[in-house]
Structures are given as structure tokens and as C-alpha cells.
């Protein structure tokens, strides 16, 4: 295992410490928890937004805490859901009296633990709504998931619901726009190499030297096709076609595009993938409003990428364009 770490069992604690130490003006840690919140949390009179999940997907989710996106992020152990009490701590820390929205990627453990936290919060009089993100169109059910998985498109849910919350909307309005994003969101990924959970010490699965896997999840869950490595153009076409099928876009529809690296993929390769993606969308007369390329939701040191499209109407466009000031997403 080639990793820049100390003791494998301490990676999450040391990561959170090192992260908060880097950005003391923007972020603070809720003492004795794995919860990171805006430095000015709770913001009175604003809907609070909390997301999170297992660690190993950095910059998700702590990197999206800040003005115009999340109020708080909860980190579990690597690829492990945060416990209900940790999520509850996050809810309490960001509640500014207007209720809290939980943005949950669709993994059974996350859904269960966030729901339990919501119940704890409601018992204390904090109004909570939830949105479950299931943008991964690769497979219908998966290792840790009933229904489709949530992957990188989740960042668009953070961005857009965060913008509306910042404008003073109600909890119901913020939850409604988050659900609207989910309904217009579609992603799919692929992997060239596996990744190693530090405590396990060896890769969670193997891919042959000349193989790749299409449709793989961000925890290494099986995809839909194991094949010889294909060209970047072929990969882009396969992923994008599945994403387009799901969204049923029409000519002149407008989208935001995300080409997400899973951890070990050079930006050069993501730009090459975008070269094909942008050409296919142009041929189909689909308007690209904005393209995001980089590492938005990773799988430790997995090599591979995912492609996300978000169909935009006027409301979603305005909210996507609104300012955001977080570590990993600035506008």
C-alpha cells in the first residue's frame, strides 16, 4: 500500500485536523465530532444544509462547506457511513431556526443513518427535510444500494440548493429545488484501477493490466462491463450515451457538464474526455451552459472518471451561476 499516511486507523482524524488547520477563516470543526461547518454557522434565519458520507471522496464533502453551498459536512470512516449521532451534531450546529435540509447520496447506510439523525433532530424541535441523490445511471441496484447510487452529480445538488438557501428561501423551497436537480441529473463512471481503503491495506478488487470497468461505483462496486481498455473517445461516448438516454434531452436543451476525476486521473485525460463530450453535445445541438472539469467526488486513488449532465431551466441556471465561496467550488 503506497500512501502518505501515518497509522491507517487515524487517517480520518488526521485528515480533518489538517483540513481545518488549512482553512481556519472559512471553516470550524464541531468539537469532538467529525463535523465541519461554516465558520459563521449557524446562520440565523437561513435554511441550513448538511451533507456527508464516508471519507475517501475528498473534496466531498468538507470542500463544499461555505457560503452558497453546504453549512455542514459529516465525515464517516473511509467508505463508511457517518453515525446518526454525528449527523445529528451537524444538524444542531447549522440550525439557524429555519430548518435543515439533508442531502444524502443513495447508499443504504447513509440513508438509514441520516434518517435516524433527522428523527433525533425533529424530537428536539428542529424541522428537517431530506433529499436522496441517485444520479448514477449505470446500475439499478448495487452492492450498498437499493435503487441507483449517488455520485458526483451530488455536487450540483449542493450548489443549487445552497444558492437558494442563501437567498432566504424556506426549507420547503430549498428541498423542492434540490429534488428538481435530482430529477434532471444523470451521471455515469468508469475505472482503470482500483483503490485501497487504508485499514484494509490492499485493493478492494482487481482490474487486469489491460482492463477497465464501465459503470463502476465510487466505492468500487461492480459496474456493467469489464473490457479491454478503450480509447478516451469510446469511453466518453459510452458514458455520455447512457447519461443522455436517461435524461431524454431534446435539441436546444441546456445543460451543465461535469467531467469528474476519481482521484488518480491526470487533468490532461479529463480534458481529452471533454474534447469528445463537447463534440457529441454540439452535434446533438445541446447547449452547454458551463463545464466543470476536475476532482469533485473521488474514490481515494482510483483512476477513472465520471460524466454528469444536469438539464438546466432558467431557475436552475440562475442558481448554478450564483456566487459560492467554498474550498473546492468558487464562483
Catalytic positions, please?
A: 57, 219
Q: C-beta of 327: minimal distance to a copy of itself in Å?
A: 8
Q: According to the binding rule CB under 8 A, does residue 303 interact with a copy of itself? A: yes
CB 235: neighbour CB atoms within 10 A? Answer: 22
Alpha-carbon distance 323 to 123, whole Å?
34
Q: According to the binding rule CB under 8 A, does residue 165 interact with a copy of itself? A: no
Alpha-carbon distance 242 to 199, whole Å?
35
Q: Of the candidates 132, 305, 309, 312, which one interacts with a copy of itself according to CB under 8 A?
A: 305
Question: Beta partners for 101?
Answer: 49, 129
Q: Which residues 191-250 are close enough to bind a copy of itself by CB under 8 A?
A: 192-193, 209, 212, 229, 231-233, 235
Grid coordinates representing 222 are 461492480
Which residues lie closer than 8 Å to 22 by C-beta, 6 or more apart? Answer: none
Q: According to the binding rule CB under 8 A, does residue 301 interact with a copy of itself? A: yes
| # residues near a copy of itself by CB under 8 A | 57
Give the H/E segment covering residue 223: none
Contact 195, 2 (CB under 8 A): no
**Segment contacting a copy of itself by CB under 8 A, of 19-27, 88-96, 97-105, 214-222:** 19-27
In the bound state with a copy of itself, the residue whose beta carbon lies nearer, of 60 and 137, is 60
Grid coordinates representing 68 are 452558497
Q: Of the candidates 145, 274, 306, 308, which one interacts with a copy of itself according to CB under 8 A?
A: 274
Q: Of the candidates 273, 312, 316, 320, which one interacts with a copy of itself according to CB under 8 A?
A: 273
3-state secondary structure of 230: coil
Q: According to the binding rule CB under 8 A, does residue 112 interact with a copy of itself? A: no
8-state DSSP, 71:
S
Burial of 21 (0-12, 13-18, 19+ CB in 10 A): exposed
Q: According to the binding rule CB under 8 A, does residue 130 interact with a copy of itself? A: no
Residue written as cell 482503470?
Answer: 192
Q: According to the binding rule CB under 8 A, does residue 76 interact with a copy of itself? A: no
Q: Which residues bind a copy of itself (CB under 8 A)?
A: 2-6, 11, 14-19, 21-23, 55-56, 58-59, 63, 192-193, 209, 212, 229, 231-233, 235, 257, 259, 263-276, 278-279, 291, 293, 295, 298, 300-301, 303-305, 330
Amino acid at each position: 500500500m503506497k500512501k502518505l499516511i501515518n497509522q491507517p486507523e487515524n487517517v480520518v482524524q488526521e485528515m480533518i485536523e489538517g483540513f481545518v488547520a488549512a482553512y481556519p477563516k472559512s471553516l470550524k470543526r464541531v468539537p469532538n465530532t467529525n463535523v465541519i461547518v461554516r465558520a459563521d454557522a449557524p446562520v440565523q434565519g437561513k435554511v441550513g444544509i448538511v451533507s456527508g458520507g464516508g471519507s475517501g471522496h475528498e473534496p466531498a464533502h468538507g470542500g463544499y462547506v461555505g457560503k452558497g453551498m453546504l453549512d455542514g459536512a459529516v465525515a464517516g470512516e473511509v467508505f463508511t457511513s457517518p453515525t446518526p449521532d454525528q449527523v445529528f451534531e451537524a444538524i444542531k450546529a447549522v440550525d439557524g431556526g429555519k430548518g435543515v435540509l439533508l442531502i444524502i447520496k443513495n447508499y443504504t447506510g447513509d440513508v438509514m443513518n441520516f434518517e435516524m439523525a433527522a428523527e433525533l433532530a425533529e424530537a428536539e424541535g428542529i424541522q428537517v427535510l431530506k433529499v436522496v441523490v441517485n444520479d448514477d445511471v449505470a446500475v439499478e441496484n448495487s452492492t450498498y444500494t437499493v435503487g441507483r447510487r449517488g455520485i458526483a452529480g451530488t455536487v450540483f445538488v449542493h450548489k443549487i440548493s445552497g444558492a437558494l438557501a442563501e437567498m432566504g428561501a424556506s426549507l420547503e423551497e430549498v428541498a423542492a429545488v434540490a429534488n428538481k436537480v435530482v430529477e434532471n441529473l444523470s451521471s455515469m463512471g468508469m475505472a482503470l484501477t482500483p483503490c485501497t481503503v487504508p485499514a484494509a491495506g490492499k485493493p478492494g478488487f482487481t482490474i487486469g493490466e489491460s482492463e477497465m470497468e464501465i459503470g463502476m461505483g465510487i466505492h468500487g462496486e461492480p459496474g456493467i462491463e469489464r473490457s479491454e481498455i478503450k480509447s478516451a473517445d469510446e469511453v466518453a461516448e459510452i458514458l455520455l450515451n447512457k447519461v443522455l438516454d436517461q435524461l431524454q434531452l431534446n435539441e436546444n436543451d441546456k445543460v451543465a457538464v461535469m467531467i469528474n476525476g476519481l482521484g488518480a486521473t491526470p487533468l490532461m485525460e479529463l480534458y481529452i474526455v471533454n474534447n469528445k463530450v463537447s463534440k457529441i453535445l454540439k452535434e446533438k445541438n445541446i447547449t452547454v451552459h458551463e463545464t466543470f472539469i476536475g476532482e469533485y467526488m473521488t474514490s481515494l486513488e482510483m483512476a477513472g472518471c465520471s460524466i454528469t449532465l444536469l438539464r438546466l431551466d432558467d431557475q436552475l441556471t440562475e442558481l448554478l451561476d450564483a456566487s459560492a465561496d467554498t474550498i473546492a467550488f468558487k464562483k
